[in-house]
Structure 1
């Protein structure tokens, strides 16, 4: 049973990077001729698209009894209180309030976040910081699984 899922996709404007990468690569090999330039354009655009797609493929899910964030899978029993962070608080927890031991799945283009304490005494990680477009929904999904 899955109660929450979010993919942290990159904004549409970031896809302009693929166009810029293609143009740059195409222009770089232009002195070699038109066909190499066309090849450079295609390869550069493909590499740019792969980079943007890969960066925007991170997912956050609440599945059965676990929080899955990126590559991390954390049992809900190891999680404590969840704190919804608005844009200002999220920026503070990304910078001067941040603990280097924390697990952070952050994306700069998502202003809001959820901070969840880790209560497992064997785990040195103090909290999980998750960039999310719907911090209230994620907190509610975690609370529903705990109940």
Structure 2
């Protein structure tokens, strides 16, 4: 009895690890500044009052600011399953003509005065780098995507590798 699969039997598929994955979270100092400002605002509303006004600003403002900061840093960027996924947007890699890593100056130029208004942009100001993904889809009026990334060269390489593998 042979343990190797026969040529006619399908080989088992193993779930592919994403070629690239990143969360565009906020830096630690944004969390610290946000909580400090929320605490200061709650203390200003409290102003030594008694009763409900003594604890209600703290109970409402601090969790609201935490939820807002989490929401700002929730965006995920991934190259997985033949797609570039940016939050809820999906781009099949077969439509990627080129992926250009941008530093802070390049991102500023791509999103500056001469930027195309039809471009898809997911930009986070606390992240310096980005990737410009040039599209090759005649049915789509979007000329390119600009996506913030802390590791733009790795994201661009993963996109081009996924495109070449597809």
Please say whether Structure 1 and Structure 2 have the same fold, judged by a TM-score greater than 0.5.
yes
* TM-score normalised according to structure 1 size: 0.92
Q: Confirm or deny that 1:64 pairs with 2:81.
A: yes
Residues 45-72 of structure 1: CA deviation (Å, up to 9, x unaligned): 1111111110111010001110001110
Q: 1:14 aligns with which of 30, 36, 56?
A: 30
**Structure whose alpha-carbon radius of gyration is higher:** 2
In the alignment, the residues of structure 1 paired with residue 120 and residue 38 of structure 2 have an alpha-carbon distance, to the nearest angstrom, of 32
Aligned residue number for residue 42 of structure 1: 59
Native 8 Å contact 1:5 1:59 kept in 2: yes
Superposed displacement of residue 35, structure 1: 4.2
Bigger fraction of residues in strand: 1
Where do 5+ consecutive residues of structure 1 fail to align?
none
1:100 aligns with 2:108: no
Structure 2: gaps (5+ residues): 1-15
Report if aligned partners of 2:35, 2:66 keep a CA contact under 8 Å in 1: yes
2:127 is the counterpart of 1:110: yes
Q: RMSD in angstroms over aligned alpha carbons? A: 1.5
Question: How far apart, in 1, do the equivalents of 2:69 and 2:41 lie?
Answer: 16
Q: Which has the higher helix share?
A: 1
Residue 36 of structure 1 deviates from its aligned partner by 2.4
Contact kept? 2:22, 2:76, Cα under 8 Å: yes
Q: How big is the shift at 1:33?
A: 2.1
